[in-house]
Amino acid sequence: MANANLASTPPLGEAAIAPLLPPAHSKTSATGEKAATRWTLIAIAIGFLALFVLLPLGAVFAEAFRAGFGAYWEAVSEPDAVAAIKLTLLAAGIAVPANLVFGIAASWAIAKYEFRGKSLLNTLIDLPFSISPVISGLIYILLFGAQSVLGPFLREHGIEIVFALPGIVLATIFVTFPFIARELIPLMQEQGTAEEEAALTLGASGWRTFWHVTLPNIRWALLYGVILCNARAMGEFGAVSVVSGHIRGETNTMPLHVEILYNEYNFAAAFAVASLLALLALLTLIVKLVLEWLYADQIAGTRRH
């Protein structure tokens, strides 16, 4: 705009302004870099991302379709693959709602009240993020495995936790534990308690206040947390691998099925199943991006996880 205006100003005005403008040959401002530096940095950034992110993503799909569409379809529709897909959906279907309820309860307690020990609770919620996935599985083996203190009791009562669905669900809940709470807490702290107090003053019950005042305020952040939580729940490998026991068709989730196929040198099939997980990741990123575009102000903007 400034340039267009300058171009249309009469010669006299231009002459008056000219001494104030920086020399025409220099494109650098005091707080910018030379064009060469700028483009080098951009090239490094793009090159690094292409090499480390874009290329691996492309490799998944290239390898998946290397043996053709027929082989692809066969790999993702054979009974073991279907069983793995079903188990993954089931485990995520239990883990995500469980963490959703926790996320709402924890953020309600932390954001709406002042109490001692709050920052400790806040820190403890983040704990699973910093723990190795293998350890996240190991702890449940140590707690519920045959060798544990609880082991004989569980066996006597015929309760299977480790190497069965409950173990897989527990490990999945553990690794996705902070996701939803992490999105809700900063947002609800920012929103404060004034609206809830108004609703209560007007005679609404606690539940009604939650449903009609709080929930609409946090719905997009909630959805944002849920999709991130779901992506991790369906893709979790290390923790689930430790507790699953790798029983084909029974305790194999999709990532574990990928591993088995890969170790059997059945690469095309491994990448075919992997491509479904990669699609899920892409879908997650797209939804995340759309939510960030449309509702930036209603999402806490914790872009870290």
Site residues for another protein, 233-262, by CB under 8 A, read: 234-238, 241-242, 254-256, 258-259, 262
Which residue, 196 or 220, is less far from another protein as judged by CB?
A: 196
Nearest partner of 84 among 294, 258, 304, judged by Cα: 258
- Euclidean distance between CA atoms 150 and 166, whole angstroms: 15
Report 88-147 residues binding another protein (CB under 8 A). 101-102, 105-106, 108-109, 112-117, 121, 123-125, 127-128, 130-135, 138-143, 145, 147
Report 256-295 residues binding another protein (CB under 8 A). 256, 258-259, 262, 267, 270-271, 274, 277-278, 281-282, 284-285, 288-289
Q: How many residues interact with another protein (rule CB under 8 A)? A: 98
Binding mask 147-166 for another protein (x = CB under 8 A): xx------------------
Measure CA 137 to chain center.
20
- Provide the residue type at 47 as one letter: G
Which residue, 5 or 123, is less far from another protein as judged by CB?
A: 123
Torsion over CA: 109, 111, 113, 117 (sign): positive
Which residue, 83 or 139, is less far from another protein as judged by CB?
A: 139
Q: Is the separation of the CB atoms in 103 and 184 below 8 Å?
A: yes
Query: Is residue 304 a contact residue for another protein (CB under 8 A)?
Result: yes
> Nearest approach, Cβ of 46 to another protein (angstroms)?
6
Q: Using the rule CB under 8 A, which residue among 54, 159, 247, 296 binds another protein?
A: 54
Query: Is residue 33 a contact residue for another protein (CB under 8 A)?
Result: yes
Which residue, 9 or 95, is less far from another protein as judged by CB?
A: 95
Count Cα neighbours of 95 within 13 Å in the Cβ-side half-sphere.
32
- Euclidean distance between CA atoms 25 and 93, whole angstroms: 62
Report 183-222 residues binding another protein (CB under 8 A). 193, 196-197, 200-201, 206, 209-210
> Nearest approach, Cβ of 41 to another protein (angstroms)?
5
Nearest partner of 268 among 134, 69, 2, 112, judged by Cα: 69
Nearest partner of 291 among 280, 279, 303, judged by Cα: 303
Count Cα neighbours of 294 within 13 Å in the Cβ-side half-sphere.
11
Which one of 3-11, 53-61, 153-161, 182-190 is the stretch in contact with another protein (CB under 8 A)?
Answer: 53-61
Judged by DSSP in three states, 159 sits in coil
205: burial class by Cβ within 10 Å (0-12, 13-18, 19+)? exposed
